[in-house]
Amino acid sequence: MALTDTITVERLDEGALPGALALSEEAGWNQSADDWLIFFRSGTVFGVRDGEVLVATGAVLPYDGFGWISMVLTAKAARGRGLGTAILRRTIAALMETGRVPVLDATPQGERIYRPLGFEPGAPLWRWRGTSPGNGGAVPGIVQATAADRDWIVARDAAAFGAARPGLVAGLTERVPDAALVMPEKNGFVLARPGRAAVSIGPLVADDEDAAAALLEGALARVTGPVIIDVPDGRTIIEDLLAKRGLAKERPYLRMALGRSEPFGDPERVFAIAGPELG
């Protein structure tokens, strides 16, 4: 069945989860069903159907003052028809209608699309990928997060990210609890979540890079198997640690905001993001 000349972008509910997951799997992305549910339950997912088949998606997560655009996907068989652009414009409009600045993490291919729309470049990031042997060893000063730590983790994340996201942070502390770690005296923490193909480590927030490296050592000691971590460019101690642990740079991202180059939050204290889909 062919799409008509008119592209209808609709708001999706959780019933579209299997189709959305199929799109991210076809693209080779790491999102699990639990990741998609974050967008359905805490944000808005838009989509385009060809008959009954979901062939394109895009999602927004609203925060205070800005919102995140992600999961802009088009099925391989439906590419070249403007579906991604139509959904992107709908996500931008949805955020601007509520007075929020659209923000996203762009691949080099996406950057060429976003710049003409008025997105300005911010911080560059690198995705690192590898396999963690996980040795379960203890790192001095690093302990597993407990329910009593959640309020200050949420507060530290909000200060670094630029907006409070208590539901997301609370959920991440439960996804890989062994790797949800804190360094109380440094006010640092690291969280992780299992993906379709790898465990994603992040966000990682700390007062300095030495503390961040200790937290990352702790997380890698507690995770076995494929891992990915998205690190702001220039974090040399973190990069050296990852390289020594056998991880390698896979691809760059560029944080971009519509009509704004100034970052939200305190990026100096962010040593790994939650992921390009979450910020």
pTM across the whole model: 0.94
Cβ-proximal residues to 4 (8 Å cutoff; 6+ apart), any chain: none
Topology given in CATH for the domain delimited by 10-99: Aminopeptidase (3.40.630)
Token duo for residue 227: 């891992």
Q: For the chain, give every residue range classified as CATH 3.40.630.30.
A: 10-99
pLDDT digits (tens, 9 = 90+) for 18-74: 999 999 999 999 999 999 999 999 999 999 999 999 999 999 999 999 999 999 999
Q: Within the chain, which residue ranges are assigned CATH 3.40.630.90?
A: 126-272
* 3 state DSSP class of 4: coil
pLDDT in tens, 83-124: 999 999 999 999 999 999 999 999 998 898 899 999 999 999
Mean pLDDT over residues 119-143, rounded?
92
pLDDT in tens, 192-235: 999 999 999 999 999 999 999 999 999 999 999 999 999 999 99
Chain centroid offset of residue 2 CA: 33
Take residue 123 and report the two structure tokens written for it.
């911080």
Residue 252, classified by CB atoms within 10 Å of its CB into exposed (0-12), middle (13-18) or buried (19+), is middle
Mean pLDDT of 239-265: 97
pLDDT: is 190 or 141 the higher one?
190
Structure tokens at 78: 């439906």
Q: What is the pLDDT of residue 5?
A: 56
Topology (CATH level 3) of domain 126-272: Aminopeptidase (3.40.630)
The yes-or-no verdict on residue 3 having pLDDT over 80 is: no
Q: What pLDDT score was predicted for residue 186?
A: 72
Pairing of strands 66-74, 101-106: parallel
Question: What is the model's pLDDT at position 2?
Answer: 43
**Residue 158: pLDDT over 90:** yes
Taking the C-alpha atoms of residue 217 and residue 199, their distance in angstroms, rounded to an integer, is 15
**24: CB partners within 8 A, 6+ apart:** 31, 36, 71, 73, 196
Question: Is the pLDDT higher at 184 or at 170?
Answer: 170
